Structure 1
Amino acid sequence: MLRTSRFSWRLAALIALALSSAAVAQEAAAPQYPNYPSETPATFKQSSEGFDYERREVMIPMRDGVKLHTVILVPKGAHHAGILLTRTPYDADELTTHGHTGNLGATLNGYDNAPDVIVQDGYIRVVQDIRGKYGSEGDYVMNRPLHGPQNPTPIDESTDTYDTIDYLVKNIPESNGRVGTIGISYDGFEPLMSLVNPHPALKVAVPMNPMVDGWMGDDWFHNGAFRAQNLPYILEQTASRKNEIKFSSSVHDEYDLYLRAGATGEMARRYGLEQVGFWQKLVAHPAYDSFWSDQAVDKVLAGQPLKVPTMLVHSLWDQEDIYGAIAVYKAIKPKDTGNDKVFLVMGPWHHGQEIENASSLGAVQFGSDTGLYFRQKILRPFLAHYLKDDAPANPVAPVTAYETGSNVWRTFRQWPVATQARALYLGGDGKLGFARPSGEAYQEYVSDPAKPVPFRARPIQPVGYDPGQTWSEWLVDDQREASGRPDVVSWTSDVLTQPLVIRGQPVVHLRASTTGTDSDWVVQLIDVYPDMEPMDAAMGGYQLMIAGDILRGRYREGFTVAKPIKAGAPLDYSFELPTTDHVFLPGHRLMVQVQSSWFPLYDRNPQTYVDNIFFAKPGDYKKATQRIFGDSHVDLPVTSN
């Protein structure tokens, strides 16, 4: 063997030498052509001739030397203008180059921008790529935690915002030195970070639909159940600096895609997500441990002084971050002793719809453009009060809320308003009412992980906002299809003869048993329209979800530690539903639906206790019989005004 190896090595060396000599000879024989000068410059600075604004791109240095790519749009003729800053992981260039007409309003047609307000009031618009994304230097960390237990470095989104504002007020001569931060979703998380040790020039913050606590009820989990359909976002957002790596699938119906993969961990493995640091953190922290609680923004801000006026904007049908804005409001409002620093706006929108046409959401019509109302009647005067030199009066109420059902805007001094908790009981006979039922009646169903309940009608589209996609509308989908399934139980009230107004968060109190050792509980509060709607026939009998959420049963005794469920034992499960501001009108009925899967939005519970559901095995997924006992109820926050 040794001799053969030496011979082979010598032969390979001789062949390589011969090939190399031939290549050199061929290169020497190749004709040499003169260079023809390129007509494309190495860099091109676009002329602003004919534009109504000047575009400036700068790399702003942070305190550790990392430079962040920043686009500055200055209206021509601007003088003593306020600055509106958005920090984003979604490409500052893309958010500021939508128009090529030279008109600033057209240029700003994009995510986070309210062009009518920005242009009409002459603000200097600044959009910056956060650290590690697109044109900015440094490393990217999803929702980079503040300096502390989860981030030992002195650098975080708060310090980057401070350094950015410091640069802007010193280097934009057209500004008046007043800065506001504004953004939606991830970009709404950034204004919240600006409130931590804020720069003196920061005069106002407008976090809209912000990411706040990814475990309790925003993007990654809801009460312990993982949002499986966010896997593509995690891949695309974290696998490359410029989101160049895309999630691809040859399966049209995402229900089939996720079901065939089995456990979510296996789905992630198939797409290479084990290479991604954020996915590794999710897998390592399925419970609400210190990793999550240390960086929960509402908890962080509860411990901070209240220095900057803040308007929190919440969507009543936010399909992505329905938890965050209300959680922050509850955390910081007690510090607002003068009731003039913390403001809340709630509209009948999907995630981010406040900057779009919002005269309807799916099949639900509002009769007017509620997004335009928000921008012109609330956002515009609010920003002007803090960012303009002449400081016009602030006409905005501490709370402005859209009352769905009656479709009117109302104002309040605080939220929630005074309410009475009224228990709405899930009787054993399928009747829903305020009278406590007697006896041990129950409703039951069989939950089969092999046939999970889809969270909307199939085929299920991916998460996205491309033309033709209706992801943003799923919270207002007609629930009749679900209510007709044998693995969904429903309770319905009598027809209302008087309006029923609820304002606040309904609280679920289930007494239930399962033959498994783990279970999910999905509860939906629904407004059932009359069988015939004369003004809108398509809404006849419509079942509109007003509030709904999921609880992973292993966390029934506390979110920090998972525990098996005792099979067959009636146990108590309690959790809050998202905030409501709704009128159930006369002629309508109330409905409550309960089920044990919401797929593939949330990963399937195997219904057999395993240490980590991300890695459940095929044999762990088993049918279970679920019983809901008649003293289960939903506490409704009922008000008379």
Structure 2
Amino acid sequence: MNKYLLKPQMWWLLSAFVLLSCSSHSQQNSFVKDSYKKYEYNIPMRDGTKLYTAVYVPKDASASNKYPILMKRTCYNSAPYGAGKFPSINRLGPSKFMVNDKYIFVHQDVRGRWMSEGTFDNMRPQLTGKDKKDPKKFDESTDTYDTIDWLVKNVQFNNGKVGQWGISYPGFYTAVGTLANHPALKASSPQAPVSDFYFEDFHHRGAFTLAYFPIIPVFAYQKTSNTTKSWYNDKFPRTDEQDGYDFYLKAGALKNLNKYYGDDNFFWKQFKEHPNFDEFWQKRSLLPHLKDVKHAVMTVGGWYDAQNLYGPLNIYKNIEKRSPNAYNTIVMGPWTHGAWSRVKKEEIINDIYFGDYVSEFYQSNIEFNFFGKFLKDRKGINLPEAYMFDSGTKKWNKFDKWPSPKATKVKMYLQADGKLSTNANDNAGNEFTEYVSDPANPVPYIEDHRMEVIPSDRYMTDDQRFAGRRPDVLVFQTEALTEDMTLGGEIMVKLKVSTTGTDADFVVKLIDVYPNDEKAHPKLAKHIKMGGYQQMVRSDIIRGRFRESYSKPKPFKANKVTEVSFPLQDVMHTFKKGHKIMIQVQSTWFPLFDRNPQKYVPNIFEADDKDFIKATHRVYHSKKDQSYVEVQVLKK
């Protein structure tokens, strides 16, 4: 019997996009049912489309005891449906602390999903120009406005203040909802928000996130009627293969995956038709629209979010840039996708222990206070602009601005014989280091080859020794540090490269190398050994054809030295005394991302198997052609 890449009855349990849970404890359910009344509405939008909305009102609400509204808009579902059915305490609001504190909680299915009318559009473009003034034209921000307007006028005993929150795709709806600028909207918290499908989730700087292939049906089919049941379960691809690396390698070129999806899969079709950052993707990017935000925003993300690290960092930065008068804050913690919403005693990712009750601290001291300050007018709450967790020291840090203006930019030069130095004058010896990249033998992104339904979060902190042993991975590292070195902010990569082919990908990893005598934390499993561990700190990929423009790809000229520059996302990490800093460079990262044929073809989604060739890539480190990674160093 065939096995699903993604078991349909469990897709929303497994997917890092969907943070809902079927299970609930009867005690938690009874608390919600005992404390809240539930109402279901179909709220009309300006074009007449009605959106299903569940409203949970505290039973003690009255004319003399009013509550603020806290809303989540989602494409996943607003279950449980039915006036007599209640979610668990952990699903009703952002946290049990918020539910106990009592708000009027609102869950809404967005346009075209589940019990709401209309047509679904991934990352629906924002209205621009004269369309913004057309009373019948709509986007996600107008749907947010219309919903808020209806709620404050029709839900009894609200105090006239509205907040919104959401994680992952609902985080996008929260972020785009900031543009509604309804006078009642006072606080928004986009959490792990999607901001641009070309630079996160399904693409990273032009490379297609192949590991997402099994999850595409969730976002790729229109429902035919309002429903409480998923309508895409029979659309998931099937295979007997248990080894994900082998499955995708045997599949070959991307075009060979077409057999798994029909023409009615509009999302897969969009990927194939728009391989470049063209108008289709540009108008779906939220970031340029984050202007004139007037209320308080707290964006939340995880340093080890394999899906949406780009979103929270860049939403914060763009609001800071484009809406300078907004109360704009950011929180980044030691979490995978949405993990801050789940309380657990020990915060452990893969082999790295980050502390106890980190998520509970966030929920009870940061999130609780943010909404309390702006929706309940609680006094004496002072929130920093940036609450950043140092993933090296395992401690929270507060900043008045991010990145800190006190940070100093330092270039770390790639050098001959695998050296990494802050001194450019150390460049001596061979002018380049080269490696052969073979698409038929790509570098795995994790040692574990099991079939995954989405990218494994493990790779974000994984021990990179398995990669460094390969001849197609270049390794550069410093001597052991004589004092702690704290990095805080964006990382910029500048490579001088050449290739015997006409296209190439480049993956750059920043790694913390532990001393050989490092002891494992006592809360880790006994078999884990940390001596010599090479912990990933930050990494990313660029498709080389987009080195000058993401909308106008350009082939390489064979054997010509060419600059390839791109940023890695921000870090807050202290490399401790005795540790080493390592940079790895490679050209495949499989099957996290699709393989580059290394022979330029106009559209890699249409490449043939015969187009994939071996190529020799050189990374230069001479005085004339310097390659480096620029970091931002924070002095204590």
Quickly name the TM-score band, shorter chain normalised: 0.7 to 0.9
Shift of 1:583: 0.2
Shift of 1:491: 1.1
Which residue of structure 1 aligns with residue 115 of structure 2?
135
Q: 2:359 aligns with which of 368, 371, 375?
A: 371
Give the letter for the 2:557 counterpart: K
Q: Which moved more, 1:495-504 or 1:47-56?
A: 47-56
Q: 1:462 aligns with which of 410, 432, 452?
A: 452
Matched, 1:623 2:614: yes
Shift of 1:547: 0.8
Shift of 1:281: 2.2
CA contact (8 A) 1:266 1:615 kept: no
Which residue of structure 2 aligns with residue 639 of structure 1?
634
CA contact (8 A) 2:241 2:247 kept: yes
Matched, 1:567 2:558: yes
Q: 1:496 aligns with which of 452, 457, 481?
A: 481
Which residue of structure 1 aligns with residue 67 of structure 2?
81
Which residue of structure 2 aligns with residue 60 of structure 1?
43
Q: 1:107 aligns with which of 84, 88, 99?
A: 88
Shift of 1:204: 0.5
Aligned mates of 1:154, 1:124 — CA distance in 2: 29
Identical-pair percentage: 38
Which residue of structure 1 aligns with residue 386 of structure 2?
399
Shift of 1:114: 2.6
Which residue of structure 2 aligns with residue 25 of structure 1?
none
Q: 1:49 to 1:177 in 2, by over 3 A?
A: closer
Shift of 1:257: 1.8
Map 1:288-303 → 2, pairs under 5 A: 288-301=277-290
Shift of 1:50: 6.5
Matched, 1:248 2:235: no
- Point out 4+ residue stretches in structure 1 off by more than 4 angstroms: 46-50, 94-97, 149-153, 335-338
Which residue of structure 1 aligns with residue 20 of structure 2?
none
CA contact (8 A) 1:444 1:626 kept: yes
Shift of 1:431: 1.2
Which residue of structure 1 aligns with residue 417 of structure 2?
429
Shift of 1:451: 1.1
Matched, 1:172 2:160: no
Give the letter for the 1:199 counterpart: H
Q: 1:613 aligns with which of 596, 600, 604?
A: 604
What TM-score do the two structures reach when normalised by structure 1?
Answer: 0.86
Aligned mates of 1:252, 1:461 — CA distance in 2: 5
CA contact (8 A) 2:219 2:267 kept: no
Give the letter for the 1:172 counterpart: V
Give the letter for the 1:342 counterpart: N
Which residue of structure 1 aligns with residue 572 of structure 2?
581
Shift of 1:337: 4.9
CA contact (8 A) 1:426 1:432 kept: yes
Question: What SS does structure 2 have at the residue aligned with 1:416?
Answer: coil
Question: What SS does structure 2 have at the residue aligned with 1:334?
Answer: helix
Map 1:401-420 → 2, pairs under 5 A: 401-417=388-404, 418-420=406-408
CA contact (8 A) 2:195 2:287 kept: yes
CA contact (8 A) 1:145 1:151 kept: no
Which residue of structure 2 aligns with residue 233 of structure 1?
215
Give the letter for the 1:218 counterpart: E
Question: What SS does structure 1 have at the residue aligned with 2:298?
Answer: strand
CA contact (8 A) 1:83 1:179 kept: yes
Q: Deviations over 1:54-96 (max 9, x none)?
A: 2222211111111111111222213311111000011111599
CA-based RMSD: 2.4
Aligned mates of 1:52, 1:335 — CA distance in 2: 41
Aligned mates of 1:337, 1:139 — CA distance in 2: 35
Matched, 1:330 2:317: yes
Q: Which moved more, 1:239-248 or 1:577-586?
A: 239-248
CA contact (8 A) 2:416 2:429 kept: no
Which residue of structure 1 aligns with residue 494 of structure 2?
509
Aligned mates of 1:337, 1:71 — CA distance in 2: 34
Which residue of structure 1 aligns with residue 8 of structure 2?
none
CA contact (8 A) 2:388 2:572 kept: yes
Shift of 1:428: 1.6
Shift of 1:404: 1.3
Q: Is there any run of 5+ residues in structure 1 with no aligned partner, and where?
A: 1-45, 465-469
CA contact (8 A) 2:123 2:285 kept: no
Q: 1:149 to 1:596 in 2, by over 3 A?
A: farther
What TM-score do the two structures reach when normalised by structure 2?
Answer: 0.87
Shift of 1:279: 2.4
Question: What SS does structure 2 have at the residue aligned with 1:321?
Answer: coil
Of structures 1 and 2, the one scoring higher in RCO (CA 8 A, sep 6+) is 2
Q: Deviations over 1:349-400 (max 9, x none)?
A: 1111111236222211112222111111111011001111x43333211111
Shift of 1:288: 1.6
Aligned mates of 1:396, 1:629 — CA distance in 2: 46
CA contact (8 A) 2:407 2:634 kept: yes
Matched, 1:220 2:208: no
Map 1:529-544 → 2, pairs under 5 A: 529-536=514-521, 538-544=529-535
Shift of 1:530: 1.3
Give the letter for the 1:461 counterpart: M
Aligned mates of 1:155, 1:173 — CA distance in 2: 27
Question: What SS does structure 2 have at the residue aligned with 1:275?
Answer: coil
Which residue of structure 2 aligns with residue 387 of structure 1?
375
CA contact (8 A) 1:118 1:125 kept: no
Q: Deviations over 1:245-281 (max 9, x none)?
A: 33332211121222222222321x1112432222222
Aligned mates of 1:587, 1:318 — CA distance in 2: 28
Map 1:543-554 → 2, pairs under 5 A: 543-554=534-545
Give the letter for the 2:400 counterpart: R
Aligned mates of 1:141, 1:50 — CA distance in 2: 34
Aligned mates of 1:150, 1:626 — CA distance in 2: 49
Shift of 1:619: 0.8
Shift of 1:587: 1.4
Q: 1:273 to 1:375 in 2, by over 3 A?
A: farther
Question: What SS does structure 2 have at the residue aligned with 1:167?
Answer: helix
Shift of 1:600: 1.1
Shift of 1:201: 1.1
Q: 1:462 to 1:535 in 2, by over 3 A?
A: closer
Aligned mates of 2:341, 2:396 — CA distance in 1: 17
Aligned mates of 1:239, 1:532 — CA distance in 2: 53
CA contact (8 A) 2:486 2:633 kept: yes
Matched, 1:485 2:466: no
Matched, 1:182 2:182: no
Question: What SS does structure 2 have at the residue aligned with 1:577?
Answer: strand
Q: 1:526 to 1:167 in 2, by over 3 A?
A: same
Aligned mates of 1:356, 1:441 — CA distance in 2: 50
Q: 2:103 aligns with which of 123, 145, 149?
A: 123
Matched, 1:69 2:57: no
Aligned mates of 1:563, 1:317 — CA distance in 2: 32
Aligned mates of 1:237, 1:225 — CA distance in 2: 20
Aligned mates of 1:96, 1:317 — CA distance in 2: 37
Aligned mates of 2:76, 2:130 — CA distance in 1: 24
Give the structure with higher Rg (CA).
Answer: 1
Question: What SS does structure 2 have at the residue aligned with 1:87?
Answer: strand
CA contact (8 A) 1:461 1:471 kept: no
Q: 1:149 to 1:521 in 2, by over 3 A?
A: farther
CA contact (8 A) 2:542 2:566 kept: yes
Q: 1:310 aligns with which of 273, 292, 297?
A: 297
Which residue of structure 2 aligns with residue 443 of structure 1?
433
Q: 1:52 to 1:456 in 2, by over 3 A?
A: same
Which residue of structure 2 aligns with residue 13 of structure 1?
none
CA contact (8 A) 1:492 1:591 kept: yes
Aligned mates of 2:410, 2:327 — CA distance in 1: 32
CA contact (8 A) 1:48 1:54 kept: no
